[in-house]
Amino acid sequence: MLSEKLQAIHKEAVAAFNAAKDSKDLYELKVKYLGKQGPLAGLMREMAGLSKEEKPLFGKLVNEVKQGLEDHYSQREAALAQAELNQKIATEALDLSLPGPVRARGARHPIQKVINEVVEILSRIGYSVRTGPMIEKDWYNFEALNIPADHPARDMQDTFYIDESHVLRTHTSPIQIRTMESEKPPLRILAPGSVFRCDSDVSHSPNFHQIEGLLIDRKVSMADLKGTIAYFVKEYFGPEIKIRFRPSFFPFTEPSAEVDCSCPICKGKGCRMCKHSGWIEIGGSGLVNPKVLAHCKLNPDEWQGFAFGFGMERMAIIKYGIEDIRLFAENDLRFLRQFEA
């Protein structure tokens, strides 16, 4: 009786396994026939009614059938998995030429781009970069640069004071002093960086950027200065750009000159940027004041030098035609993305 039932269960389970459409279907059949609620488990419970001699023989038979079904299940499972994989490969073809997801790339800030370009142009004629602290001693920011205590530039209106003897540097000139103190001439250095003044409107920002150049050597003249600036301006704005010097006064240079270049936008014809004059002011320059050299323990009879300084925001404004200096500090992505490479 029981062995007939066993044969019937075996036959039915094998047929069901063979008919399974996919591995999920097959697994459900395994639970149905081989699980704890399945017919084989039921037969084991029915064995209670058998004699002492019959029990082990029948138990062995049930286990053999169970083992056989499990083996059959494993074979079917492997076959179905392979078939499913083949199906997947055939239908889900990968197009390797499809573009990947686009990632937003960062870009250099326009001011940093200008600094990098100025440094690159001047490094070709032997200049290299020096840096210094933004919180600066009074001596380096003013005194050593021949800016005495009663000079108007020291006014609280213009300068951020940290305490009585420290300021947020108002120019990058302190780096010139520090370099002359710590290195032996001849020198050709560039001092780019952030500077701070109490000023804020369309054309003034309390934090802006400068790059200064300093050359110290023997027998340096205004002609050397003018030649250097002419070279720089032509490299930066274009070969057709002219420069002119206007006499000026700075405490740290003597003589001093403001530097204008012919307007790169209208080529000198006159436009809004150059206020219809055809010329644009780009910075200040001059021969290093002998008093400054002496403060740095250089003998003015032996060493001379020239210095020049450009505002980086001003250079960017002229080069890219930007009208409001505050745009550089607002971090508006619509503005910044226009400068991506």
Closest to Zn ion by CB, 32 or 246: 246
Q: Which residue has the tokens 């073809």?
A: 93
Report CA-CA distances (Å) from 341 to 98, 106, 109, 248.
24, 10, 11, 38
Closest to Zn ion by CB, 47 or 265: 265
Contacting residues for 137 by C-beta, under 8 A, at least 6 apart: 165, 166, 174
| β-pair type (279-288, 253-262) | antiparallel
- Other residues' Cβ atoms within 10 Å of the Cβ of residue 46: 12
Give 264: exposed, middle or buried? Use CB within 10 Å, 0-12, 13-18, 19+.
buried
Closest to Zn ion by CB, 225 or 263: 263
Report CA-CA distances (Å) from 280 to 243, 312, 313.
9, 14, 14
Question: What's the rounded Cα separation, in Å, for the pair 110 and 230?
Answer: 23
Q: How far is the CB of 216 from Zn ion (least distance, A)?
A: 35
Closest to Zn ion by CB, 50 or 271: 271
Q: How far is the CB of 198 from Zn ion (least distance, A)?
A: 30
- Which structure tokens are listed for 279? 């010329």
Q: How far is the CB of 312 from Zn ion (least distance, A)?
A: 20
Question: What's the rounded Cα separation, in Å, for the pair 295 and 286?
Answer: 17
Q: Which residue is nearest to Zn ion (CB)?
A: 263
Q: How far is the CB of 241 from Zn ion (least distance, A)?
A: 12
- Which structure tokens are listed for 121? 């142009």
Q: How far is the CB of 105 from Zn ion (least distance, A)?
A: 34
Q: How far is the CB of 113 from Zn ion (least distance, A)?
A: 22
Q: How far is the CB of 131 from Zn ion (least distance, A)?
A: 34
Closest to Zn ion by CB, 153 or 265: 265
Closest to Zn ion by CB, 220 or 265: 265
Task: List residues near Zn ion by CB under 5 A.
Answer: 263, 265-266, 271, 273-274
Report CA-CA distances (Å) from 8 to 2, 67, 264.
10, 16, 98
- Which structure tokens are listed for 216? 């110290």
Closest to Zn ion by CB, 27 or 279: 279
Closest to Zn ion by CB, 29 or 315: 315
Contacting residues for 20 by C-beta, under 8 A, at least 6 apart: 26, 29, 76, 80
Closest to Zn ion by CB, 136 or 313: 313
Q: How far is the CB of 317 from Zn ion (least distance, A)?
A: 12
Q: How many CA atoms lie within 13 A of 29 on its CB side?
A: 24
Contact call for residues 295 and 303 (beta carbons, < 8 A): no
Contact call for residues 237 and 271 (beta carbons, < 8 A): no
Q: How far is the CB of 201 from Zn ion (least distance, A)?
A: 22
